[in-house]
Amino acid sequence: MAISLYKSSVPIFVQFLTALSAVLDKAAAHAEARKIDPSVLLNTRLTPDMFPLLRQVRAATDHAINASGRLAGVDLPTFSNNEATIPELKERIAKTIDFLRGLKAAQIDGAEEKEIKITFPSGATREFTGQSLLLNNSLPNFYFHCTTAYDILRQCGVELGKRDFMGTPVQM
Amino acid sequence: MAISLYKSSVPIFVQFLTALSAVLDKAAAHAEARKIDPSVLLNTRLTPDMFPLLRQVRAATDHAINASGRLAGVDLPTFSNNEATIPELKERIAKTIDFLRGLKAAQIDGAEEKEIKITFPSGATREFTGQSLLLNNSLPNFYFHCTTAYDILRQCGVELGKRDFMGTPVQM
């Protein structure tokens, strides 16, 4: 017995992206209650050479899509990459979740040893197996960006707790 | 074919704890170069009601130990929980890595559906399967605390990049 590659990826991404979308709702409510322009929150960074919140959210969706889509061997959805409002970011998350929900376990299970070559924006390439892509690269990066998005909003004073980050496990 | 529960847990925890220990080395060097008391870094929080860096590090080791030890069904190592210096935290991480390296794949593989009941500090209890404990609880919490430790040090101006967070995959 072992863990299904599908169950280690798709439902996990859906759980934490759903939670991230709800965290953005709380950010929107916080901004409205305090008459803060939501774009101030979206452009907040923990330090000048880290991505602002809106890029953290985009990166989280990218890692979920890139991992799941490559494991399944399907075309990846694309985005404008110029989302600049909370509704636009929530739309991007929703589109990502739709894509993930459209993938079947049979498309992903079995891709554990599949060779996947990735070309990074820098031009560098790296070869993974399906399993190493998910475990050593995509999940840690995904959690990194979800956590940092949460951390930025906590620092901005949005009332959030760990449960908001964790969300609720989904049955898929 | 599928993913081994062992490979989804122990080598991943070792990879990111090794990276976290090296991140603390960079924090120590940063403090020394700038004549900062390292305890200032260790007590820095992103916001007053979040844990400071030293508690983020302790929590990361706790999630790695609790998940792996419970999957294997062995006694968990304990700590003083009053580590207050970078060397003491690095010692805690080293002890955690030793514990993890002492676990064999055969002790963990097969625990996917094992029933594991956890009593939280609040007194609440929650039942998991081995797989749900790892995927839905321990890994996300582990990454949350590793990321937040990194985020705190980035905000303190320690020169770190994503590679410091990611570390290097380990063969086990």
Which tens digits make up the pLDDT trace of B110-160?
Answer: 999 999 999 888 899 999 999 999 999 999 999 999 999 999 999 999 999
Q: Determine, for residues B155 and A47 on separate chains, whether the beta-carbon distance falls below 8 Å.
A: yes
User: At residue A116, what are phi and psi to the nearest 5 degrees?
Assistant: -130, 120
Classify the phi-psi angles of B126: left when phi > 0, otherwise alpha if psi is within -120 to 50, otherwise beta. beta
pLDDT number for residue B122: 86
Q: Determine, for residues B139 and A136 on separate chains, whether the beta-carbon distance falls below 8 Å.
A: no
Q: What Å distances lie between residue B78 and A74, A107, B10, B138, CA to CA?
A: 46, 43, 18, 18
Q: Determine, for residues B46 and A12 on separate chains, whether the beta-carbon distance falls below 8 Å.
A: no
Best CA proximity match to B148, nearest among A172, A80, A154: A154
Which residue in chain A has the smallest CA separation from B15? Answer: A136
pTM across the whole model: 0.97
At A7, list the tokens.
């169950």
State how far residue A140 is from chain B, nearest Cα, in angstroms.
Answer: 7
Q: How far apart are the first and last CA of chain A?
A: 19
Q: Please, which residues bridge with residue B3 across strands? A: A3
Classify the phi-psi angles of A124: left when phi > 0, otherwise alpha if psi is within -120 to 50, otherwise beta. beta
Q: Determine, for residues B47 and A3 on separate chains, whether the beta-carbon distance falls below 8 Å.
A: no
Collapsing DSSP to helix, strand or coil, B53 comes out as helix
- The low-confidence residues of chain A, meaning pLDDT below 50, are none
Contacts 24+ apart (CB under 8 A), A25-29: A25/A90, A26/A153, A26/A158, A26/A159, A26/A160, A26/A164, A27/A86, A27/A153, A27/A156, A27/A158, A28/A86
Rounded to whole angstroms, the Cα distance separating B146 from B58 reads 10
**Cβ neighbours of B50 in A, within 8 Å:** 151, 154
CB-CB: which of B113, B135, B143 is closest to A147? B143
Which tens digits make up the pLDDT trace of B10-56?
Answer: 999 999 999 999 999 999 999 999 999 999 999 999 999 999 999 99
**Cβ neighbours of A50 in B, within 8 Å:** 151, 154
State how far residue A49 is from chain B, nearest Cα, in angstroms.
Answer: 9
Collapsing DSSP to helix, strand or coil, A129 comes out as strand
Burial class (CB in 10 A: 0-12, 13-18, 19+), A168: exposed
Res. B109: pLDDT tops 80? yes
Q: Determine, for residues A46 and B46 on separate chains, whether the beta-carbon distance falls below 8 Å.
A: yes
Q: Determine, for residues B151 and A147 on separate chains, whether the beta-carbon distance falls below 8 Å.
A: yes
Map tokens 């599908």 to a residue.
A6
A142 contacts A63 by C-beta, under 8 angstroms: yes
Res. B1: pLDDT tops 70? no
Q: HSE-up of A82 (CA within 13 Å, CB side)?
A: 1
- The A-side interface with B (CB below 8 A) comprises 1-5, 7-8, 12, 15-16, 46-47, 50, 109-110, 112-113, 131-132, 135-137, 139-141, 143-144, 147-148, 150-151, 154-155, 157, 162, 165-166, 169
State how far residue A109 is from chain B, nearest Cα, in angstroms.
Answer: 7
- Most A-contacting residue of B128, B151, B159 (CB-CB within 10 A), to test interface: B151
Collapsing DSSP to helix, strand or coil, B64 comes out as helix
pLDDT number for residue A121: 80
Res. B172: pLDDT tops 90? no
